[in-house]
Amino acid sequence: MAVLAMTGAGIAQPAKPAPLGSFRVDLAKTSVSGLSAGGFMATQFHVANSASVIGVGVVAGGAYLCAAENPLLAAACMQANGFWPQAQALYEQAVPLAGLGRIDPLEGVKSARVYLFSGRNDMIVSTAAVDAVQDFYRAAKVPANQIRYEKGIEAGHGFIASGGPNDCNANRPPYVNACGTYDQAGQILSHVYGGLNPPVSEPRAAVPFDQSPFLGPDGSDRSGLADTGYVHVPPACAGGAVCAVHVVFHGCRQSVASVGDAVTTVAGYNQWAANNNLIVLYPQMAEGRPGNPLGCWDWRGTTGQDYATRSGAQIAAINAMLKTLAGQR
């Protein structure tokens, strides 16, 4: 329940959430994952920051630079039809960005641990689109044993969690589907970080934090961030243990404002984080704004030509959040 504060006019309003805290964070062990537009975002955030992002989970997402700054290619990227760029060509487009220092050197991509997922009943993003993510990472010389690709489950479009509110083959909000005992958060985190302690049995909630400090320095904001983000900090991390960070990018129409805690709690990341010195960051996009009414992460260049680089509005905002968690900002 939201905490209420009294304004000067005596009208109760939700209290502003607390600032994002700082902890003993090892940013060299950062990882990311996301669904749909968040899956595209996870790929581009990883490639832009491959020197520090050691692993990525892409659930029904697509390849880096797929839309090539042309929103008209979005449908082609989601369905991987004949009009879209091929993965090798996309990798070759990333090479000069690395040469100019706009993204990290691509050598860092080679060491990444990559988890990919496409449900056989996904009606929104095709398996061919996720195949292209695998092709991109192969073009970047990621060894085959570092890529785990699951595409044999009769799942629809969504994160997969045993406590998910949707049936396995659903393609509807909140886009969190139950497919038997399949635990996608555990699969992603175990693939990235290796042997982990078992998850806790009870759901662990994330708490809100103020995202306004991560807007543009002049008060303007190209990022489209919501006012509030969410973070789960396990007791050990709050108590001074050295911890890594995993960033979860929600899909379109999947922010807390739209689906409640379906992603920030039910998807299962926090249960794994609790016993494994792992902070989980859930940045939030705003919904209902002109140009981005569904609250999607930008993988098409709508926020500017630098969208897929470290100076892109959204990538820069998330990097600032990570630096804040590590006490570097």
From residue 162, give the alpha-carbon distance in Å to each of 59, 136, 182, 188, 312.
16, 30, 6, 14, 35
The CA distance from 184 to 57, in Å, is 10
Please tell me which residue in 31, 36, 50, 118 is annotated as part of the active site: 36
Nearest-CA neighbor of 118 among 153, 79, 151, 154?
Answer: 151
> Chain-wide mean pLDDT for the chain?
91
Average pLDDT, stretch 122-151? 96
So what's the pLDDT on residue 202? 86
Please tell me which residue in 104, 122, 131, 306 is annotated as part of the active site: 122
Pairing of strands 207-210, 30-35: unpaired
The CA distance from 289 to 177, in Å, is 27
Average pLDDT, stretch 272-285? 97
So what's the pLDDT on residue 4? 31
Q: Which DSSP helix (H) or strand (E) runs through 324? A: helix 313-325
Buried-exposed string 77-104: b where 16+ CB fall within 10 A, e elsewhere? bbbbeeebbebeebbeebeebbeeebbb
The pLDDT confidence band at residue 125, using thresholds 50, 70 and 90, is: very high
The CA distance from 224 to 290, in Å, is 10
So what's the pLDDT on residue 51? 97
Residues 6+ positions from 281 with CB-CB distance below 8 Å:
229, 230, 231, 245, 246, 247, 248, 318, 321, 322, 325
Nearest-CA neighbor of 113 among 183, 66, 58?
Answer: 58
The answer to whether 250 is a known catalytic residue is no
From residue 184, give the alpha-carbon distance in Å to each of 62, 81, 228.
18, 27, 25
Give the model confidence (pLDDT) of 216-225 as tens digits.
654 457 889 9
Instruction: Please check the confidence at residue 1 and state whether its pLDDT lies above 60.
Output: no
So what's the pLDDT on residue 6? 31
8 A C-beta contact, residue 321 and residue 229: yes
The answer to whether 220 is a known catalytic residue is no
Instruction: Please check the confidence at residue 3 and state whether its pLDDT lies above 50.
Output: no
Q: Which DSSP helix (H) or strand (E) runs through 184? A: helix 184-193
Q: Tell me if the pTM is above 0.75.
A: yes
Give the model confidence (pLDDT) of 60-87 as tens digits.
999 999 886 566 677 778 887 666 668 8
The answer to whether 33 is a known catalytic residue is no
So what's the pLDDT on residue 72? 67
**Lowest-pLDDT range of 34-38, 112-116, 176-180, 297-301:** 297-301
Average pLDDT, stretch 282-304? 92
So what's the pLDDT on residue 287? 93
The CA distance from 286 to 261, in Å, is 15
8 A C-beta contact, residue 114 and residue 53: no
**What ranges do the domains of the chain cover?**
20-325
Q: Which DSSP helix (H) or strand (E) runs through 94? A: helix 87-99
Give the model confidence (pLDDT) of 143-196 as tens digits.
999 999 999 999 999 999 999 999 999 999 999 999 999 999 999 999 999 989
Please tell me which residue in 157, 191, 232, 246 is annotated as part of the active site: 157
Q: Which DSSP helix (H) or strand (E) runs through 88? A: helix 87-99
**Lowest-pLDDT range of 14-18, 87-91, 253-257:** 14-18
Residues 6+ positions from 58 with CB-CB distance below 8 Å:
33, 34, 39, 42, 43, 114, 115, 116, 117, 130, 133
Q: Which DSSP helix (H) or strand (E) runs through 190? A: helix 184-193
Average pLDDT, stretch 84-102? 90
Instruction: Please check the confidence at residue 294 and state whether its pLDDT lies above 80.
Output: yes
3-state secondary structure of 258: helix
